Structures are given as C-alpha cells and as structure tokens.
Amino acid sequence: MAIEDDALDLSPRDAVLAAPSVPSRKRRWKPALLLAVILVFGGVVVTKFLSSAIDYYCNVDEVGVRSGCEGTRRLRVQGAVDEGSLKKAAGMTTFSMSFNEDTLEVRYDGDPGGVFQECIPVVAHGRMVNGVFLSDRIEVKHSNAYSTENKERIDKAEAAACSLPMQ
C-alpha cells in the first residue's frame, strides 16, 4: 500500500509553548473594589443600627447631667407621674414626672392607656426637644418580673411617688 501525499502526517514536531496568560490589572482591582465597597457599606449599616438601637436608661434627675443621658440622644427616662399634672387634649397627653426632686415635662402623642395614671412610676421613651421630653412610648410598672429584676429602682420611684388613696 502506498502512502498518499494527502495522508495524515504523524511525525513529531517542535512544540510552541504559549505564554502563560496574565490577568490584566483592570480585572484584579474590580473585585477588590467591589469587596471594599460592600465592607464599608456593611460597616455603616451595622454602626447605624447599633447606635440607633441603644436607648440609654436614665432617671429624671440624670437627664442632661450623667454621661449617656444627654438631651441630644434617644432616652428611656424613669420617674413618677406628678399628681395633678396629667392633661389630655386633642389626642395629646401631657404630664410631668419626677425623680429625686427633679421634674421633667413630658408630651406624648396619644393616650398611654392601660393602667397609666398619676402617682405611679413610668418609663417614657423619646427625645428632649426645647426642654420638653417628646415621648413615643410609655411603659407602666405592672409586672412582677420587672419588680424583681429592678427592685432598687422601683423602691426609689415608689418612695418619690405621691400616695394614692386606698381603694
């Protein structure tokens, strides 16, 4: 059998090595930049979340005095509702609350409802604006668990509260 000129040539050849492909510099920095942007964004979100989630707990006499109880931040303020100070008009509840002989004017948009009344310890959540505490949430002491965990605070607040007539 004769080999034709068109036949497949299987003789060894010199190998031509291709240069290794080097990723361009453009492609290297894009993922790094994207990762940096994601990390910065995530850090900002977490920082904002943590700082806004913290409501400092203060007594009325500590507002504007104790570190963390500055009037520029959101606070939870404890005190007793002063006798004769509770007023409700046009969907707004105003009252003053006291603790250790210091008084704070409070304005609450709505009716606190429940067992809220004068001469009981309460915790108001909100911010100081022009010398008035604008509250968006009012908590009234009524659970035994709170009383057990915070006995010293409750004892002080009850001692400061006016006495209610026996029913």
Mean pLDDT value of segment 98-117: 88
Query: In this model, does residue 148 exceed pLDDT 90?
Result: no
In this structure, what token pair is assigned to residue 18? 């291709």
Neighbour count for residue 56 (Cβ, 10 Å)? 16
Q: Which residue, 83, 58, 85, is CA-closest to 73? A: 58
Q: Across the strands, what pairs with 132?
A: 129
In this structure, what token pair is assigned to residue 167? 């029913």
CB proximity list for 51: less than 8 A, separation 6 or greater? none
Amino acid at 142: H
Write down all domains in the chain, each with its CATH number in brackets: 56-160 (2.40.50.140)
Give pTM, 2 decimals.
0.57
The predicted-structure confidence for 1-57, as pLDDT tens digits, reads as follows 555 566 787 878 777 776 666 655 556 778 888 899 999 998 888 877 766 556 678
